[in-house]
Amino acid sequence: MSKGVVLVVDDEAPIRDILSFYLKRADYQVLMAENGLRGLEEMGKLQPDLIISDLRMPEMPGDDFCRQVKSSSATKDIYFMLVSALDGSMSKIGGLNIGADDMISKPFHAQEVMAKVDSAFRIIAMQKEIKRQNVVLRGFQDRVNSEMELASRLQMGMLPALPGVAPGIRYTHHYLPAEGIGGDIYAITPLPDGSTAMMIADVSGHGVTAALISSMVKTSFESQLRLGLDPHAWAVGMNQDLFRNTLAEQFATAFLAHLDPATSQLNYVVAGHPAPFLIGNAGGGKPQQLGGKGFMLGIDANLPFTSQRAAFRAGDRLVLFTDGLEEVEREDRTYLGEEGLMGFCSSLPADAEQAATQLVSQVQAYNHPATFSDDVTLVVVDRVS
């Protein structure tokens, strides 16, 4: 069985014959041509793995032949040896600069040429194996990308449909995962008694693992809603669910709230999450951050949580967000933070979608030229009569 195909190109027949003799004896298949033009014709019949070409030949010399071979995407990876009677390092450098992979000086010893040929075919074998592995890796990457795209669509399907309407509110969101899928999640759920439940959460980490846990958080939240209307009880139950079903280093922050439109009362729990901004008519439209702090969900089964209360009246606006929206910095390393984000919220348009778009754009401009390194979720909730 042939070790590979070698094309010998030389205008001197005795040199072609001696190289052919040694190559065939070493189990290589040999093609021969007297110049570069004939060499191209031979390549059209059977593409070689290796070319040994003289430098000085009529019609098409070896340097032009080498350039043509190396300039074509179909043949550029063929291993090319130039044979030259010109001595000295400058001649070798010139040959390598035009794309040759190796140089052989005339007069040469056949054994030297065969040693170089065997070495070249070891390199060729490694290159072929790398190409094969790259094909396998590309196939694997394509499958991963396909799965990630499907996972991303599924995760987007977990978010509330827009434009969002629930008892006493209208809302919209911007959801920007850092890696296609992420650990942010939110839910706004109408309840049978005419009230509304809200949840926004941020799972530690990014990517697939965070996305899986975020779906667990949403499922746990929905389960808690069936048990009652108390955000404190939701936090206790969700914390226990997360503690039982995740690893020690996995946790989530969350803001949980219940709105009674009849009383404009918002009961809520802050579980290690940035508290939302309340923009109220009574305060002249100036943003105020809701009070309250608390432990993150999932770090211990028996964590205490604190209930909070605020008025959320018709005409008010609630801005819920994950920390990816505030934890950005300018090129001069100036950090935005909650205070800077609150400043951006002081002049938002009346329309919720326009407000969300403007706020994200302002933060992106602040962060330019960097992109968001963390998952970002923004929910703008407008209180209606």
Residue pLDDT, tens place only, 251-279: 999 999 999 999 999 999 999 999 999 99
The answer on pLDDT for 47 being more than 90 is yes
Are residues 263 and 343 located together in one domain of the fold? Answer: yes
Give the total number of structural domains in the chain: 2
Evaluate whether residue 222 is within a structural domain: yes
Q: What is the bridge-based pairing of β-strands 164-166 and 102-105?
A: unpaired
* pLDDT tens readout for residues 18-41: 999 999 999 999 999 999 999 999
Residue 60: give the domain boundaries. 5-132
* Composition of the chain by helix, strand, coil, percent to 5: 40, 25, 35
Are residues 78 and 220 located together in one domain of the fold? Answer: no
54 phi and psi angles, rounded to 5 deg: -70, 155
* 359 vs 92, higher pLDDT: 359
Residue 200: how many CB atoms within 10 A of its CB?
24
Are residues 302 and 360 located together in one domain of the fold? Answer: yes
Tell me the average pLDDT across 80-109: 77
Which band of pLDDT confidence, cut at 50, 70 and 90, is reported for residue 1? confident
Are residues 278 and 379 located together in one domain of the fold? Answer: yes
Tell me the average pLDDT across 49-57: 94
- pLDDT score at 383: 96
- pLDDT score at 90: 47
- pLDDT score at 91: 53
Are residues 211 and 271 located together in one domain of the fold? Answer: yes
Last residue in a domain, options 88, 115, 132: 132
Kindly state the percentage of the chain with pLDDT values over 70.
97
CATH number at residue 44: 3.40.50.2300
Q: What is the bridge-based pairing of β-strands 376-383 and 169-176?
A: antiparallel
Are residues 194 and 238 located together in one domain of the fold? Answer: yes
Are residues 200 and 267 located together in one domain of the fold? Answer: yes
Are residues 265 and 189 located together in one domain of the fold? Answer: yes
C-alpha closest to that of 297 among 237, 257, 359: 237
The answer on pLDDT for 74 being more than 90 is yes
Are residues 263 and 366 located together in one domain of the fold? Answer: yes
* pLDDT tens readout for residues 135-170: 999 999 989 888 888 887 888 888 888 899 999 999
Are residues 12 and 115 located together in one domain of the fold? Answer: yes
Which band of pLDDT confidence, cut at 50, 70 and 90, is reported for residue 95? low
Spatial strand order in the sheet of 50-54? 29-33, 5-9, 50-54, 79-84, 102-105
Are residues 173 and 85 located together in one domain of the fold? Answer: no
Evaluate whether residue 284 is within a structural domain: yes
For 240, the enclosing helix (H) or strand (E) is helix 231-245
The answer on pLDDT for 15 being more than 80 is yes
Are residues 60 and 165 located together in one domain of the fold? Answer: no
Evaluate whether residue 148 is within a structural domain: no
For 378, the enclosing helix (H) or strand (E) is strand 376-383
